[in-house]
């Protein structure tokens, strides 16, 4: 396999399409990816606070595997805080959908069983997954693909189970404060006990509130590192106790050093594909 490209070169490997306007469901973002060369590609995934659906529009050319050795081909779903995931393939073309976990709960069902791993989309969406993939592959343009996916998501979101309002409130607060808010205070504001919040949030979002707060804070720090800021400044800005604390959290979530995260090819496309992180929030 050829050596990994530099971040700048990695970003140049992809043609990226994005919708011209927000879709009907808040808390959703989409981007279309088409490889400019045949590959092979091997891309390490940096965890982030959204559930990812990758719909393979090639000939089952996309595969995603984790540290436990399990690999899924075709259209997949990666849970929150997915650790050690790598994408592999040739001639890759796919639609990537990022869902706030509040939205993902309605669209895909309770997220606790994902546990930061990866599963096939049809394991969660059933026959809807095959129908969606077929229609997306037959579409004439990315604009048509986005419209098809938005309609499918809106339907499943309307008909699916909603998270508790208290759970949605806590998630929004974690995002708004970049993870820097006391969970006990949020529990008090919901009127729930800490134990009840822990249980309901874990069951519906897939992580405990504290783990979710750490993930949101890590995501902020990772993007600051990728933007070229020094680790010491990132640690202070993101609310870590010190630089060593930042190192430990980066290692826990990404299995890398802050220097490696700063150069991660996965983050180089964010300005093009995910410029507005509003998908993290949901009404």
Q: Where are the domains of the chain?
A: 7-162, 165-265
CB count, 10 Å around CB of 177?
A: 15
What lies within 8 Å, CB to CB, of 137 at 6+ separation is 57
Tokens of 8: 């700048």
Is pLDDT larger for residue 131 or for residue 13?
Answer: 131
| Residue positions counted in the chain | 283
> What's the fold here for domain 165-265?
Arc Repressor Mutant, subunit A (1.10.10)
User: Which of the four pLDDT bands, split at 50, 70 and 90, describes residue 1?
Assistant: very low
Give counts: helices (H), strands (E), the chain: 13, 10
pLDDT tens column, 168-204? 999 999 999 999 999 999 999 999 999 999 999 999 9
Residue 2 has pLDDT above 50, yes or no: no
Crossing angle for the helix pair 183-190 and 209-226, nearest 10 degrees? 130
pLDDT tens column, 87-142? 777 778 899 999 999 999 999 987 776 766 788 899 888 889 999 999 999 999 99
Nearest C-alpha neighbor of 216 from the set 244, 188, 239: 239
Find residue 32's DSSP bridge partners: 17, 95
What is the rounded distance in angstroms from the CA atom of residue 54 to the CA atom of residue 272?
Answer: 17
Return phi, psi of residue 161, to 5°.
-75, 130
> What's the fold here for domain 7-162?
Jelly Rolls (2.60.120)
Residue 4 has pLDDT above 70, yes or no: no
pLDDT score, position 34: 87
pLDDT score, position 257: 93
Nearest C-alpha neighbor of 277 from the set 99, 87, 149: 99
Peptide bond into 40 cis (omega under 30): yes
Residue 271 has pLDDT above 90, yes or no: no
pLDDT score, position 181: 93
pLDDT score, position 89: 73
Tokens of 154: 């809106």
pLDDT score, position 39: 65
pLDDT tens column, 53-91? 999 898 757 777 665 556 677 788 888 876 667 777 777
Tokens of 120: 């096939």
**pTM: predicted TM-score of the whole model, two decimal places:** 0.89
pLDDT tens column, 230-260? 999 999 999 999 999 999 999 999 888 999 9
Find residue 51's DSSP bridge partners: 99
pLDDT score, position 268: 79
Secondary structure letter of residue 64 according to DSSP: E
What is the rounded distance in angstroms from the CA atom of residue 171 to the CA atom of residue 280?
Answer: 9
């Amino acid at each position: 396999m050829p050596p990994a490209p530099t971040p700048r070169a990695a970003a140049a490997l992809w043609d990226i399409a994005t919708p011209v306007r927000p879709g009907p469901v808040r808390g959703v973002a989409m981007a279309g990816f088409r490889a400019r060369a045949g590959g092979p590609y091997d891309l390490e995934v940096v965890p982030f606070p959204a559930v990812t659906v990758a719909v393979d529009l090639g000939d089952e050319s996309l595969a995603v595997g984790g540290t436990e050795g399990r690999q899924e081909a075709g259209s997949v779903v990666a849970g929150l805080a997915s650790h050690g995931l790598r994408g592999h393939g040739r001639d890759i073309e796919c639609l990537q959908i990022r869902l706030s976990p509040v939205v993902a709960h309605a669209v895909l069902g309770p997220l606790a069983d994902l546990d930061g791993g990866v599963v096939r989309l049809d394991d969660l969406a059933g026959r809807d997954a095959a129908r969606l993939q077929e229609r997306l592959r037959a579409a004439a343009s990315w604009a048509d693909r986005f419209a098809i996916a938005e309609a499918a998501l809106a339907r499943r979101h309307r008909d699916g189970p909603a998270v508790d309002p208290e759970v949605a409130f806590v998630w929004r607060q974690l995002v708004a404060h970049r993870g820097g808010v006391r969970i006990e205070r949020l529990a008090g504001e919901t009127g729930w006990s800490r134990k009840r919040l822990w249980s309901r949030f874990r069951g519906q979002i897939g992580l405990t509130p504290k783990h979710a707060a750490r993930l949101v804070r890590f995501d902020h720090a990772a993007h600051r590192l990728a933007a070229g800021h020094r680790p010491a400044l990132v640690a202070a800005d993101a609310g870590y106790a010190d630089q060593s604390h930042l190192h430990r959290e980066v290692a826990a979530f990404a299995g890398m050093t802050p220097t490696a995260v700063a150069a991660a090819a996965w983050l180089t496309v964010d300005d093009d594909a995910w410029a507005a992180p509003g998908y993290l929030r949901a009404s």
